[in-house]
């Protein structure tokens, strides 16, 4: 599974003019399931995400996790993270999980996140979404968990 993590001061997802998910300070997580991914990869990615120390402590060092600071999570499905541009200028998305499998793993991830963390909001799987955010830092970090790793 792939994730692009952005530390935010605030973020929201809008679908057809209505806000479907919104958080204050925390992490905006763009999430992509790839072919061959399963619950094990989702669980490992979530564990890493919740413990990732990218929030500042009193000394200004990145030493606190989203759980330490009681920040929000905004989880947004984004199959385009699996883009392969090696064959030319038009990206191929064949590495992304098929839509039904991608949805299943995204929904699994959301359920597990809600069981482990107090504030979890989401986008809408497969929708045309507008994502608004104020990146804090900026801090943007890619996370990758593949089968067998």
Q: In sequence order, which ranges of the chain are alpha helices (DSSP H)? A: 39-51, 99-116
Report yes or no on 11 lying in a domain: yes
Active site residue 79: yes
CATH code (residue 30): 3.50.80.10
Catalytic residue among 41, 55, 79, 109: 79
List all residues 6 or more positions away from 104 whose beta carbon is below 8 Å from its beta carbon. none
Report yes or no on 148 lying in a domain: no
CB-facing half-sphere around the CA of 119: CA atoms within 13 A: 19
Total domains in the chain come to 1
Report yes or no on 145 lying in a domain: no
Active site residue 130: no
Catalytic residue among 19, 80, 94, 130: 80
pLDDT one digit per residue (tens) for the chain, 149 residues: 999 999 999 999 999 999 999 999 999 999 999 999 999 999 999 999 999 999 999 999 999 999 999 999 999 999 999 999 999 999 999 999 999 999 999 999 999 999 999 999 999 999 999 999 999 999 999 999 988 75
Report yes or no on 73 lying in a domain: yes
Show the domain range for 95.
Answer: 2-137
Catalytic residue among 6, 41, 55, 78: 78
Active site residue 80: yes
Q: Is the pTM of this model over 0.85?
A: yes
Report yes or no on 22 lying in a domain: yes
């Amino acid at each position: 599974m792939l994730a692009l993590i952005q530390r935010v001061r605030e973020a929201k997802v809008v679908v057809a003019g209505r806000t479907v998910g919104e958080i204050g300070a925390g992490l905006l997580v763009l999430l992509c399931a790839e072919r061959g991914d399963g619950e094990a990869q989702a669980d490992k990615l979530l564990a890493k995400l919740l413990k990732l120390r990218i929030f500042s402590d009193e000394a200004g060092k990145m030493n606190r996790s989203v759980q330490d600071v009681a920040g929000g999570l905004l989880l947004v499905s984004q199959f385009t993270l699996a883009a392969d541009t090696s064959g030319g200028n038009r990206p191929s998305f064949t590495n992304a999980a098929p839509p039904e499998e991608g949805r299943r793993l995204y929904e699994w991830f959301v359920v597990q996140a809600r069981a482990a963390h107090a504030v979890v909001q989401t986008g809408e799987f497969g929708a045309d979404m507008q994502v608004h955010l104020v990146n804090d830092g900026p801090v943007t970090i890619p996370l990758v968990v593949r089968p067998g790793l």
